[in-house]
Amino acid sequence: MISYKLAFLGFGNVGQALARLLLRKMETLQNRYGLTFTVTAIATSRRGNVVHSQGVDLSQVLHAVDSGGNLAQFPTRPISDTVEWLHACDADVLFESIPVNYETGQPAVNYLEMALRRGMHAISANKGPVVHAYRHLTELAQAHGVEYRFESAVMDGAPIFSLAREALPAVDVHRLRGILNSTTNLILERMQAGETLEEAVAYAQSIGIAETDPRGDLDGWDAAVKVAALCTVVLGAPLKPQQVERQGILGITPADIARARQSGQRWKLVCEAYWENGVLRARVAPSLVGPESPLFGVQGTSSMLTLETDVLPGLTIIEGNPGTETTAYGMLADFLNAVKMHPKR
């Protein structure tokens, strides 16, 4: 049995879901992969940090955090900030799930860089570093014999990046098209069922999928960052979110909604990128789609991506109503794939 030391940088919705999933899958990891783990470090912004070389009891940590507590009750080396924590955490794998910074990807980029330089696999749910530092982090990982993986950054746990990396060798992707922002998909659906924008946003916030400040979703930024990440990794064309032509859903009027209802169509926030005469075009914009479109049936918080390639004319992945466990699963899969690539001796 090979034992891995794990460190959690960020222990919010995603970090906690990953902790629960690791506990739930513990026997599977032992029986199928011959591996076990200890959690030697956890870092948060306001709830404190833990570093303990013998490992903390993850169930107890989850219980403490679920009951509104912090990490102060757990034994730790004294740590003053995240950089010091990274130097001290002595882990094989870093799971990073801190909030996204659309403009620069920081401070996550610096933290992932530090982890890779220290010989840890860096597994991240954060799309910021993908669009701002994909090549740099990938090359750094290669130089240190470890992996930088980020499956959960787009479409949660759906294996988009693994598909492109491992299952589609020698393929040229000409176009990608889909629905990548779950929050606006749900909001548009509820508006079409009769709610106002404000009511639909409040509902999305009440079930925890829209943030207190929902502008990142409504203005199309989240979708634009995902398009940029897919262009960078899957199309091999580095693109910044600012280069994606972007229109959010705030311009959709009640009259537009009524028109969609009358014509039996639905509004969708459509993401698209394609090559045109050697130039990459990328855009996020609301579109009216009819029942003949595969996008029509993507309801609730589901998402969908179609890749058009030189050999497979249309390959589609649909992810039905993901939750935080779906995101956590992407990170777990990244972990298993990383240690398969670089077995610990």
Ligand X SMILES: NC(=O)c1ccc[n+]([C@@H]2O[C@H](COP(=O)([O-])OP(=O)(O)OC[C@H]3O[C@@H](n4cnc5c(N)ncnc54)[C@H](OP(=O)(O)O)[C@@H]3O)[C@@H](O)[C@H]2O)c1
Residue 344: Cβ within 10 Å count = 9
What string of DSSP letters covers 7-47? Answer: EEE--SHHHHHHHHHHHHTHHHHHHHH-EEEEEEEEE-SSS
Of 152 and 232, nearer to ligand X (C-beta) is 152
Q: By CB neighbour count within 10 A (0-12 exposed, 13-18 middle, 19+ buried), where does 230 fall?
A: buried
State how far the alpha carbon of 173 is from the alpha carbons of 164, 177, 232, 283, in Å: 9, 11, 12, 16
Q: Which stretch binds ligand X (CB under 6 A): 21-29, 38-46, 247-255, 294-302?
A: 38-46
Q: Nearest approach, Cβ of 107 to ligand X (angstroms)?
A: 5
Out of 6, 14, 91, 133, point to the residue binding ligand X (CB under 6 A). 14
44 binds ligand X (CB under 6 A): yes
Please give the residues from 305 up to 324 whose contact with ligand X meets the rule CB under 6 A. 324
Q: How far is the CB of 224 from ligand X (least distance, A)?
A: 14
Q: Which residues contact 257 (CB under 8 A, 6 or more apart)?
A: 191, 192, 267
| 214 vs 289, beta carbon nearer ligand X | 214
Q: Which of 4, 6, 11, 184 binds ligand X (CB under 6 A)?
A: 11
H helix or E strand, kind and range, residue 198: helix 197-206
Query: What count of Cα atoms within 13 Å lies in the side-chain half-sphere of residue 69?
Result: 12
Contacts of 258 (CB under 8 A, 6+ apart): none
336: left (phi over 0), alpha (psi -120 to 50) or beta: alpha
Q: Which stretch binds ligand X (CB under 6 A): 5-13, 29-37, 280-288, 290-298?
A: 5-13
Among 3-11, 227-235, 299-307, 308-316, which window interacts with ligand X (CB under 6 A)? Answer: 3-11
180 binds ligand X (CB under 6 A): no
- Site mask for ligand X (CB under 6 A), range 130-169, x = bound: ----------------------x---x-------------
CB of 31 to ligand X, least distance (A): 28
Nearest Cα residue to 222 out of 102, 97, 56:
102
Is 82 a binder of ligand X (CB under 6 A)?
yes
Q: Please say which residue, 100 or 304, places its beta carbon nearer to ligand X.
A: 100
- Smallest distance, Å, CB 208 to ligand X? 8
Paired sense of beta strands 173-179 and 266-276, if any: antiparallel
Q: Given the structure tokens 């649909």, which residue do they identify?
A: 318
Tell me if 183 contacts ligand X by CB under 6 A: no
Q: How far apart are CA 212 and CA 17, in angstroms?
A: 20
Cβ closest to ligand X, residue 47 vs residue 175: 47
Q: Considering the complex, state which of residue 15 and residue 178 has its C-beta at the smaller distance from ligand X.
A: 15
Could you give phi then psi for residue 306, rounded to 5 degrees?
-115, 130
- Asked if 13 interacts with ligand X (CB under 6 A), we say yes
Q: C-beta of 312: minimal distance to ligand X in Å?
A: 26
- Per CB under 6 A, the list member of 98, 123, 210, 230 interacting with ligand X is 98
108 Cβ contact list (under 8 Å, min separation 6): 96, 98, 100, 101, 124, 126, 128, 129
301 binds ligand X (CB under 6 A): no
Q: Is 126 in the site for ligand X (CB under 6 A)?
A: yes
Positions that interact with ligand X (CB under 6 A): 9-15, 43-47, 82, 97-100, 107, 125-126, 152, 156, 324, 327
